[in-house]
Amino acid sequence: MKTIILFYSRSRKTALVARTLADEVNADILEVTDLNNRNGPLNYLKASMDAFRENKTLINPATVDLADYDLVYVGSPTWASKPAPAIITLIDACNFQGKDVILFATMGSSGGQNVIERMREKIEPRGGRMIKSFQVKTGGKKEIELLENVKKIVKEEDLPIYGI
Ligand SMILES: Cc1cc2nc3c(=O)[nH]c(=O)nc-3n(C[C@H](O)[C@H](O)[C@H](O)COP(=O)(O)O)c2cc1C
């Protein structure tokens, strides 16, 4: 069974989670980038607003062909309790027909469950079936703590089993 991890990451925390996961479950990995500048305090406000309103953005790659994969992970940071616009845009550009999907959200402190719910609501009409989800709190955590945290989740949730 072939697995891919799709993710967006502004400040590299979701990237660290995704990379650790990819090693642990032996998956391909693909980062989607947001072509709108999301750095700086003014852009932070706009980013929150865009996420809250579920505004689309420009992403690279514009779509991902999932034909070769059976299992697809999708990971997003939490922005205003919503998925990042790059992930909302990506989901709408992909065909999830017949795919098992595992969703994960990173968050400073809260809102991850809503992010997962929203991704699920968008992926299911596109043919994907969410089989599992998990959240990772990143606020105040050092890189090594985050890494250990992800390894623990992989074990507790038996994630390698789903890719076999
Ligand atoms: C625009 C914006 C909005 C955010 N909103 C929330 C939020 O509603 N709840 C929360 O717990 N963290 C929030 N955060 C923090 C991020 O979700 C958290 O730091 C995440 O792990 C960052 O992932 P990244 O490093 O992959 O971008 C927000 C961060 C940004 C930039």
What three-state secondary structure class fits 7? strand
Q: What is the mean pLDDT of residues 111-122?
A: 98
What pLDDT is attached to residue 71?
98
Which of 14, 78, 137 to mutate for ligand 1's pocket (most ligand atoms within 8 Å of CB)? 78
Q: Is 127's pLDDT higher than 80?
A: yes
CA distance 6 to 98: 17
Is the predicted pLDDT of residue 144 greater than 90, yes or no?
Answer: yes
Q: pTM of the full predicted structure?
A: 0.98
- Between CA 27 and CA 72 the distance in angstroms is 9
Q: For position 87, what pLDDT does the model report?
A: 98
Q: How confident is the model at residue 40 (pLDDT cuts 50, 70, 90)?
A: confident
Please give all residues whose beta carbon lies within 6 A of any atom in ligand 1, as ranges: 9-15, 44, 47-48, 77-81, 106-111, 138
Distance from the alpha carbon of residue 63 to the mean position of ligand 1, in angstroms: 24
Q: Identify the structural domains of the chain with CATH numbers, from first to last.
A: 3-162 (3.40.50.360)
> How large is the C-alpha radius of gyration of the chain?
15
